[in-house]
Structure 1
Amino acid sequence: MNRQRVVLAKLGLDGHDVGVRLIGKHLVDAGFEVVYLGKRVSTATIVAAAVQEDADAVGLSCLSGGLGHFAALTVAGLRRAGSDVPVLTGGIDEPAEIDRMMAAGVHLHFGPGTSMTEIVTAFQEATSGP
């Protein structure tokens, strides 16, 4: 059985990557292959990496605001590239921005305090197919 591949990245100016790196570790422990792109990654870079890596899901994190904006751009870029992989997000933004990214096609959003078990389960479900 092939391992599911997830691309993780930090968006915008956010340099706090402990949480996303911890999520990556838990995903690896759950059997995922994780490609972590690092901090302050552009949406174009995320899209290109997801396509190149044949990702099964993309995980985006931002705690400094702008998550809704960048997540919507990432989803749009993936769709233009012919990819329909689910995009899961975590972080902080204004409620209207979270609504905006969900309307733009983000699969699921996690706010502060979401357990690792919930996050890993969500990635498992998102990548398991129909």
Structure 2
Amino acid sequence: MTAGAERPEAPLKVVVAKPGLDGHDRGAKVVARALRDSGMEVVYTGIYQTPESILRAVVQEDADVLGLSSLSGAHLEYAKELGELLRANDRADVLFIVGGTVPPEDAEALNDYGVHAVFGPGTPTGELVDYIKANARRVGSA
């Protein structure tokens, strides 16, 4: 690299997680592949994860983004706990998004818990990619 040349920025790192007893992960795998195909580094935690194990992955991987996938209806409880864990572990800089079957009336509560955006069924993966690229690494920098 020549003197004065800018070092290329590392790819965004995204942790995709399935909390609790929600064993339906086809959507999470589709999202993980789309993010990877867009140039992001993706860590998929697999199904049946606890909030603590998800946080551990975010911290160990130094993730820029946490994507929580929920189809079980327990998204409020998991998002609240993960939001608290992120703040308690100095990771409020992580872009926290939720996808899955989330009723629109839950969006405000999710935002209060620290979730930055909610993506429902049928969201084009390109929309998700664009959102992450536009917002990751900007959280907490304002």
Letter in 1 for 2:95: P
Letter in 2 for 1:103: D
Could you tell me which residue of structure 1 aligns to residue 5 of structure 2?
Answer: none
Could you tell me which residue of structure 2 aligns to residue 119 of structure 1?
Answer: 128
Q: Percent identity?
A: 38
Residues 22 and 48 in structure 2, CA contact (< 8 A), matched pair in contact too: yes
> Could you give the per-residue CA deviations for residues 92-119 of structure 1, whole angstroms, max 9, x where no partner exists?
2344543211111101001111111111
Q: Structure 1 residue 126: deviation in Å?
A: 2.1
> Could you give the per-residue CA deviations for residues 56-82 of structure 1, whole angstroms, max 9, x where no partner exists?
010000111111210121111011000
Could you tell me which residue of structure 1 aligns to residue 81 of structure 2?
Answer: 73
Q: Does 1:27 align with 2:35?
A: yes
Could you tell me which residue of structure 2 aligns to residue 64 of structure 1?
Answer: 72
Secondary structure class of the residue paired with 2:80:
helix
TM-score of the two chains, using structure 2 as the length reference = 0.85
Letter in 1 for 2:16: L
Q: Structure 1 residue 38: deviation in Å?
A: 0.5
Higher-Rg structure is 2
Which residue among 96, 101, 106 is the counterpart of 1:92? 101
Distance between the aligned counterparts of 2:108 and 2:49, measured in 1?
22
Q: Structure 1 residue 11: deviation in Å?
A: 1.5
Q: Which runs of 5+ in 1 are unaligned?
A: none
Residues 24 and 71 in structure 2, CA contact (< 8 A), matched pair in contact too: yes
Residues 6 and 32 in structure 1, CA contact (< 8 A), matched pair in contact too: yes
Structure 1 stretches of 4+ moved >3 Å: 93-98
Q: Which runs of 5+ in 2 are unaligned?
A: 1-7
Could you tell me which residue of structure 2 aligns to residue 4 of structure 1?
Answer: 12
Which residue among 81, 90, 110 is the counterpart of 1:82? 90
Letter in 1 for 2:45: L
Could you tell me which residue of structure 2 aligns to residue 104 of structure 1?
Answer: 113
Question: What's the C-alpha RMSD, in Å, of the aligned pairs?
Answer: 1.4
